């Protein structure tokens, strides 16, 4: 069977304009001979906190660990419930379970693809300890309304910002609305490492101190383990790489927004639904469209030489690993999971290639 030639790949993870800087950063770490909890991590934490509008950043091994440790740092665990989103990577819910708490799912807004104040309010029980919105695809949830709801009910508010580096909501940085935020630096992210990496941001100095202990085996000083911690440390190599890329992130974010705006203009009135942009602070980790004929659409796009992906094909309420938590039905999330499709969007995508993508989309003829 003939495989169509790929003219526009979905993504390339090979370093581009930053390749020389990354090699220099790696060599800097090798030459120093310090690989864990050293000066690169300290510098990156300070720089990422400043870029994120936070007082503190704590580097950890993954975005999953960032969520689990942030919840643990807040004293949330067995017997507690955390209200979160049913349309996300499974790690959002798995991290809640890692902390010993139960994920409870509030359905999403079908346009914004994030949890709503109404669905969150309906999910609150006497066991609810926290609300954790997911800023999906780089679009922030309705944080002012959700923060007001958390305050009214005396609940912790934590943000899954794994896909939302430098995003803002109403002009305020994500992560600034509650106790803290969890970020992922998985290689595909807007700020990506060359391996697994994550961080927590917070404005609470005492919480930051506890998180630094928890990520390092609960040690207050070397060989003095005062509480049950884990081994989840962002290493010097990844910290050095992330420092180089963080300098470029504002420019890359501007390029993502420009490509997204071009897509919106080109795809207006087309054969697929383009969800609305709710906030100018959207950072377009992904550009997602919806169609009830996704398989046919993806086959058409591939025939035109354009790769697409699906984020995510199954709502968390339908994941086998989460059935033990007796998830409630979330029909909007299930519907979205059956329809969403991600188009190529990354800073190095040329306007010519963006037009090839748009031309391919606009030439799709849905079956009647």
172-199 confidence digits (pLDDT tens): 999 999 999 999 999 999 999 999 999 9
pLDDT recorded at residue 356: 98
Nearest to 291 by CA among 281, 299, 279: 299
**In this structure, is residue 12 part of a structural domain?**
no
**Which tens digit of pLDDT belongs to each residue from 225-241?**
999 999 999 999 999 99
CATH number at residue 288: 3.90.1150.10
Tokens 């993806």, residue? Answer: 298
pLDDT recorded at residue 81: 98
101/38 same-domain check: yes
**Over 80: is that where the pLDDT of 293 sits?**
yes
- What average pLDDT does the segment 261-277 reach? 98
**In this structure, is residue 157 part of a structural domain?**
yes
**Over 70: is that where the pLDDT of 314 sits?**
yes
86/161 same-domain check: yes
Q: Report the C-alpha gap between 16 and 348 in whole angstroms.
A: 8
**In this structure, is residue 14 part of a structural domain?**
no
pLDDT recorded at residue 3: 63
**Over 60: is that where the pLDDT of 1 sits?**
no
Q: Report the C-alpha gap between 350 and 259 in whole angstroms.
A: 9
Q: What is the DSSP letter of 363?
A: T
**Over 70: is that where the pLDDT of 210 sits?**
yes
pLDDT recorded at residue 2: 61
Pairing of strands 156-160, 81-84: unpaired
Q: Report the C-alpha gap between 321 and 95 in whole angstroms.
A: 12
Output the furthest CA–CA distance in the chain (Å, rounded).
68
Percent of the chain predicted with pLDDT > 90: 98
**Over 60: is that where the pLDDT of 361 sits?**
yes
SS3 of the chain: helix, strand, coil, percent, to 5: 40, 15, 45
Q: How many CB atoms lie within 10 A of CB 180?
A: 30
Last residue of a domain, one of 227, 243, 259: 243
CATH number at residue 168: 3.40.640.10
Collapsing DSSP states into helix, strand and coil, what is residue 142?
coil
285/341 same-domain check: yes
54/176 same-domain check: yes
pLDDT recorded at residue 368: 79
Q: Report the C-alpha gap between 43 and 351 in whole angstroms.
A: 35
106/174 same-domain check: yes
176/40 same-domain check: yes
Q: Report the C-alpha gap between 154 and 282 in whole angstroms.
A: 28
**Which tens digit of pLDDT belongs to each residue from 335-346?**
999 999 999 999
3-state secondary structure 273-285: ECCCCCCCCCCCC
**Over 70: is that where the pLDDT of 143 sits?**
yes
Using the CB atoms, write b or e for 278-316: b if 16+ within 10 Å: bbebbbbbbbbbbbebbeebbebbeebebbbbbbbebbb
Q: 285: domain range? A: 249-362
């Amino acid at each position: 069977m003939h495989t169509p030639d790929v003219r526009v790949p979905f993504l390339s993870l090979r370093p581009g304009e930053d390749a020389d800087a990354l090699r220099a950063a790696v060599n800097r770490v090798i030459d120093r001979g310090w690989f864990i909890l050293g000066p690169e991590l300290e510098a990156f934490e300070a720089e990422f906190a400043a870029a994120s509008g936070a007082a503190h950043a704590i580097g950890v091994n993954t975005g999953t660990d960032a969520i689990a440790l942030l919840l643990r740092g807040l004293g949330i665990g067995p017997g507690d419930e955390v209200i979160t989103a049913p349309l996300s990577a499974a790690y959002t819910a798995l991290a809640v379970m890692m902390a010993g708490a139960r994920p409870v799912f509030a359905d999403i807004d079908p346009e914004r693809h994030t949890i709503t104040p109404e669905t969150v309010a309906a999910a609150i029980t006497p066991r609810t300890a926290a609300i954790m919105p997911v800023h999906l695809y780089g679009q922030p949830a309705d944080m002012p309304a959700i923060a007001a709801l958390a305050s009214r009910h005396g609940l912790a508010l934590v943000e899954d910002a794994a896909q939302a580096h430098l995003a803002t909501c109403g002009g305020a940085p994500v992560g600034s609305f509650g106790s803290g935020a969890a970020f992922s630096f998985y290689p595909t992210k807007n700020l990506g490492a060359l391996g697994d990496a994550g961080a927590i941001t917070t404005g609470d100095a005492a919480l930051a101190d506890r998180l630094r202990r928890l990520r390092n085996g609960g040690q207050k000083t070397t060989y003095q383990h005062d509480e049950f911690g884990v081994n989840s440390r962002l290493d010097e190599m990844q910290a050095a790489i992330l420092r180089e890329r963080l300098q470029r992130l504002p420019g890359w974010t501007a390029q993502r927004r420009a490509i997204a705006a071009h897509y919106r203009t080109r795809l207006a009135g087309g054969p697929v639904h383009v969800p609305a942009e709710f906030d100018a602070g959207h950072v377009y980790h992904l550009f997602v469209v919806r169609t009830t004929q996704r398989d046919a659409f993806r086959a058409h796009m591939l025939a035109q030489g354009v790769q697409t992906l699906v984020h995510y094909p199954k709502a968390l309420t339908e994941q086998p690993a989460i059935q033990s938590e007796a998830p409630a039905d979330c029909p909007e999330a299930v519907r979205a999971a059956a329809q969403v499709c991600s188009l190529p969007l990354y800073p190095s995508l040329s306007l010519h290639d963006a037009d090839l993508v748009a031309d391919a989309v606009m030439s799709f003829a849905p079956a009647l």
